[in-house]
Amino acid sequence: MKKLLFILLSLPLTTALAWWDGIEPSTGTKVEITSKRNKIRKNGIIEIFDHGNNAYHEVEIYRISSQGKDVKFEVYDIDTGEDRTFIMESLSK
């Protein structure tokens, strides 16, 4: 529980980063959160870059959880109408 709280409290720090790398486990596709203006929170809408189709997508986050040292995002892809899951690398690696 403390670990999850730490991760959630650390998330606002990611708004200062230009890149946050992750992967979509079901496809192996690399994804990146690329915009400094992204506010990462439940029900928030963020922009990601999907290396699978070399395109930007807007996604709505509906669940954030700890995945070991990484962060798991369950999102709704507004551009494709699909539910997706991303595992984003821990910022402390």
For 68-91, the pLDDT digits (tens) are 889 999 999 999 999 999 999 876
The alpha carbon of residue 16 and the mean position of all alpha carbons in its chain are separated, in whole angstroms, by: 14
Which one, of 64, 31, 35, lies nearest residue 47 by Cα? Answer: 35
Predicted local distance difference test score (pLDDT) of residue 18 = 44
- Output the six-digit token pair for 20: 């946050």
Quote the CA–CA distance of 81 and 9 in Å, as a whole number. Answer: 29
What mean pLDDT, rounded, does the chain reach? 82
